[in-house]
Structure 1
Amino acid sequence: MQGDTVMKKRVMITGAAGNMGMETVNLMKNELTKCELLLFDLDNEHSRNQLKEYESMAGVKVVYGDLLNSSLVYDCVKESDIILHIAAFVSPAADEFPERAMKVNYGSTRNLMDSIKKSGRAHEIRFVFIGTIAETGDRMPPIHWGRVGDPIKPSVYDYYAVSKIAAERMVIESELKYWVSLRQTGIMGPKMSKIEDPIMFHNCLENVLEYVSDRDSGRLMRNLCIKDIEGTLEYEFWQHIYNIGGGESCRVSTLDMYKIMYGKLGFTNLDHVIDPKWYATRNFHGQYYTDSDKLESYLEFRSDSMEYFYQSYLDNLGALVPLAKVITKVPGGQKLMGTIIKNKTKKEAVKERGTIRFIEDNDVEKIDAYWGSKANYEAIPDKLSDMKKFTDWNKVINLDHGYDESKPASELNLEDIKGAAKFRGGECLSTSMVTGDWASKITFKCAFGHTFNASPKLVLEGGHFCPECERKSWNYKERAKREPFFAQVWYPLHGKEDGREYKKVVSELDV
């Protein structure tokens, strides 16, 4: 496709019919004087309904197909200038079908990367990879503030995170000139307000997330594309990993979020609504970011606060809102309404993957993963008001990354790398490197004796380390004993003898 006078940039959007994808498309359709769109999604009823209006729109091409179809992917990639890889097989479905999660999330990224290289335009095409906050896993208080470069630590059973970690590693080591990995946080908006799934009880009451809205996620993608097309996006933006976050107004603990949500219905006592024994106390994901402003400084996408989500929640309830407000004001009304809400939500907690189901089945491995032990679970008070609550939310504990971060990147040398490797329980086996070269691979050995090649960018900026350890299992108890770097995200939340090894059923090598 070609404009009247100049060739327009073509933006390929994978997962165009999804939540983040549609928000992106709805903004990008207003930019067709500057670019053309290639919208890619699976051929199913949902995608066709979502993208129907775009099928006949000038400047837009809609492709229905599978990202695992390498020839189809190549045909799309070879004529694209910017690729927004938003498509993914996400949790909770990814946790139920781990093989599919790896096949889709890793396999699709590999096909896109291979197609970019095959096109002969690997030094021109922009590749935007969407990672996830789940890559760094459980960051409960007091280590609830984090940044890029902190240890990669997917929560046990989180195969969405496992697949994204493998894919991100491939992107970082791709040698493309224009790549970026954007680790997406929880996306709040109308769809989040409608979630009814056991995963809602995996989200610990004292977990935190720095959310971003669906609308701001779309705006982020739009601004990235337009700034790049207009030549105002600095080259320094590329070849980095960023945390996506909505900033201060989007930071909230799960319990505080419930207080506000139920408060809008008239609840003043959450004992009527929330049973703390239904909630996990570890092994989810989330953190506040000390570095999310960095992406905002480049792309200026933030506009929504958590109020957008609370309004979405009320909109979803519709006519029930004024009724609830009346009932909760009368004597016994909060208890009545709370019982109704509890009975409804409990149906999710007793399902497969539900926290109550884990306890009823005495599933020791799940109990250890989500509470640490049966004794820990039993120690949870029956009433929310009796639960000891964390209060020091603003205290930031910055993790040590094992090298002098005040040193300019251009001055990073082999001694810095050797020190960082030692802090990770391993060693750098290479005897030379070009000072300031973050991209070229060098040789490492991990604390368990595995030898591998990795770039300083992957290790220091990405927080990745040994691929063999990552593929094999969740073996965090032993890793913490041998790796001071990793111990920083383990011991604040676990005892010295907490944890067991959980074998992983799939890795990227199976794709």
Structure 2
Amino acid sequence: MTKKKTVFLTGATGVMGSCGLKELLKEPAKYDVVILVRPLVKDKEMLKQYVVLENLKIVWGDLTNYEDVKVCVQSSDIVLHVGALVSPEADYYPKQTMKVNYGSTVNIIRAIKESPNRNKIKLVYIGTVAEYGDRMPPIHWIHSGDPIKPSIHDYYAVSKVAAERAVIESGLKYWVSLRQTGIFSSHMIEIKDGIIFHNPLNNVLEYVSDHDSGVLLKNVCEDLPDNFWGHIYNISGGECCRLSTYQMFKKMFEMMGITKLEYVIDANWFAIRNFHGGYFLDSDKLEEYLNFRSQGSEYFFDLYRRENVRAIKVAKIITKFPGGQKLIGRIIRKKFEKIVRTDHGPLNWVENNRLEYIEPFFISKEHREAISPSIKDFKPYTDYDRVVHIDHGYDETKPESSLDITDIKKAARFRGGECLSQHMTKGDMQTKLLFKCAFGHVFEASPKLVLEGGHWCLQCERESWNYHELAKRSHFFAQVWYPLHSKDEPSRMYPKMVNELGCE
């Protein structure tokens, strides 16, 4: 008989975590669940349906308080670290975002290390595909090991990069980092923030449903083979969950009977770059282990219908009459115009000459002004099936067990730096080596972090977005920069307001 497991789940009141909680609680014979939740009124209200369950223990506390975390970790067999401060809220509170997302992660790592069962407790860390940053077409096909490149001003991604680095370099016996993609959920429909327009119309994302994300969390608690652990995986719902921003808006408006998008949105409201997204070349690997996929993009559109039943019904009637599309379009447009003028909306940037946002998202003020506002002039990208592979700078056909110092030195040179270490045990991906980056910073990193994680210099990751200069020096990074940026663009360096120092 399989031993009953104790699962410590963080983020149990969030989108992914709440779905994971539901799935775990369905199997009381297999799992006892411990959750750490802040004692907020809304969270207490959400969880009151579960308080009578014998296989659930609620600890009222905070992930940034080590003692609270330690209490939950000590009795656990597996930790599902889902909890995080996410965008768009994260964009407004960078310091708190780093404190929560990075600080909670190092608290969990420390608690596991201080546990008598430290070599048995398994850590499942939920990262984010936002770590890859802008992967607009034609470089929209992503593989783990591709360069880490959080978009400029994306402090959620910055915090998750730092936290993932801590996990990979933790020295824990059992860890895994699962980079979560965009989640189809009612929360996604409810967002009323300028971040909606950060996402370019031609951008793509391979989403996953909230339900399937919950199934994933349950299934990762099963007895998995040892070769599952110690790796980085991309989460997605697969081919049936691939959508461009344009395709999503088009279908949502068509549900209301609006076929002329020019009545509703302007093309120049949307950024043309600097937002994460992409399709995945390797996400099927995770499906093979966890068997969690069951829903495609129709799941999202069904959610949208249910959330807007009355509005869609009325709109479909009115749009059948002459001038109806224009009338309904005008109503929706007013709502969007209000959002696109909020603090983080592109019209706000333009009207207030906020170049620190205009340049990363639109190249320049002049370039943005040259974009036709008419959606009729917008040309949707069509060659989404064409794959542009990113070279990782070493022979990726070799199994991990065969990689040696020669491979590591080659990869370091491809990144514009060098591996200063002279020796490495063949196949040892976890022992840290000494490196120097193209800017002369010396740092330690494991081959796992560099080759499979796509991370590189700690100081560069920490200090600024200095991508133009990095691309000049690194063949590796240039592959994900120059297809989307001209070499003639002015070199801009954007200091990061926060980093992980002081958050432990």
TM-score range (shorter-chain normalised) is over 0.9
Q: Are 2:417 and 1:421 aligned?
A: no
Superposed CA deviations along residues 431-488 of structure 1, whole A, max 9, x for unmatched, are 1000111111001000000001100100000000001001110001100001110011
2:97/2:159 contact within 8 Å kept: yes
Aligned residues: CA RMSD: 1.1
Partner of 1:252: 243
Work out whether 1:379 is the aligned partner of 2:375: no
Residue in structure 2 matching 1:399, options 383, 390, 412:
390
1:504 corresponds to: 496
In the alignment, structure 1 segments of 5+ residues that lack a partner are none
1:462 aligns with 2:458: no
**Correspondent of 2:119 among 120, 123, 129:** 123
1:27 to 10, 20, 23: 23
Partners of 2:212 and 2:293 within 8 A in 1: yes
Structure 1 residue corresponding to 2:178, chosen from 170, 182, 189? 182
Structure 1: how far apart are the matches of 2:380 and 2:34?
Answer: 49
Does the 8 Å CA contact 1:413/1:436 hold for their aligned counterparts? yes
Deviation at 1:7, TM superposition (A): 6.1
Which of 53, 73, 79 is 2:75 aligned to? 79
Question: In the TM superposition, what is the alpha-carbon distance from 1:206 to its structure 2 partner?
Answer: 0.7
- Post-superposition Cα deviations, 1:12-57, rounded to whole Å, max 9, x if no partner, equal 1111111111101111111110121102111101211111122221
8 Å contact from structure 1 (residues 380, 387) kept in 2:
no
| 1:478 and 2:469 aligned | yes
* 8 Å CA contact retained: 2:131, 2:149: yes
Secondary structure of the structure 2 residue equivalent to 1:336: helix
For residue 57 of structure 2, the aligned residue among 55, 61, 73 is: 61
Q: 8 Å contact 2:147–2:477 — kept in the other structure?
A: yes
Q: Which amino acid aligns with 2:62?
A: D
SS state at 1:347 partner: helix
Q: 1 CA distance for matches of 2:378 and 2:53? A: 56
Structural mapping, 1:343-354, within 5 Å: 343-354=334-345
CA distance in 2, matches of 1:52, 1:323: 36
CA distance in 2, matches of 1:235, 1:267: 52
CA offsets, 1:211-260, max 9 Å, x none? 000000000001111x22xxxx1111100000000001100000011111
Shift of the alpha carbon at 1:61?
0.6
- Counterpart of 1:68 in 2: which secondary structure? coil
| Per-residue CA distance 1:67-97 (angstroms, 9 max, x = gap) | 1111121111111011000100111111111
Residues 191-210 of structure 1 mapped to structure 2, 5 A cutoff: 191-210=187-206
Matching residue's letter, 1:404: D
Residue of structure 2 equivalent to 1:487: 478
Letter in 2 for 1:426: G
Preserved CA contact (<8 Å) 1:17 1:46: no
Shift of 1:8: 2.5
CA distance in 2, matches of 1:408, 1:14: 34
Matched, 1:291 2:291: no
- Amino acid corresponding to residue 470 of structure 1 in structure 2: E
Indicate conservation of the 8 Å contact 2:420/2:435, yes or no. yes
Deviations 1:333-384 (A, max 9, x none): 1111111111011111111111100000011111101101112101211211
CA distance in 2, matches of 1:491, 1:234: 40
Deviations 1:401-421 (A, max 9, x none): 000001111110111100000
Which amino acid is the alignment partner of residue 43 of structure 2?
Answer: S
Classify the secondary structure of the residue corresponding to 2:220. Answer: helix
Give the 5 Å matches for 1:85-234: 85-225=81-221, 227-228=222-223, 233-234=224-225
Q: Does the CA-based 8 Å contact 2:11-2:37 persist in structure 1? A: yes
1:363 maps to what in 2? 354
Secondary structure at the aligned position of 2:199 is classed as coil
Cα displacement (A) at 1:329: 1.8
- Secondary structure in structure 2 of the residue aligned to 1:80: coil
User: TM-score of the superposition, structure 1-length normalised?
Assistant: 0.97
Q: Distance in 1 between matches of 2:143 and 2:351?
A: 37
Aligned-partner Cα distance in 1 for 2:41–2:185: 23
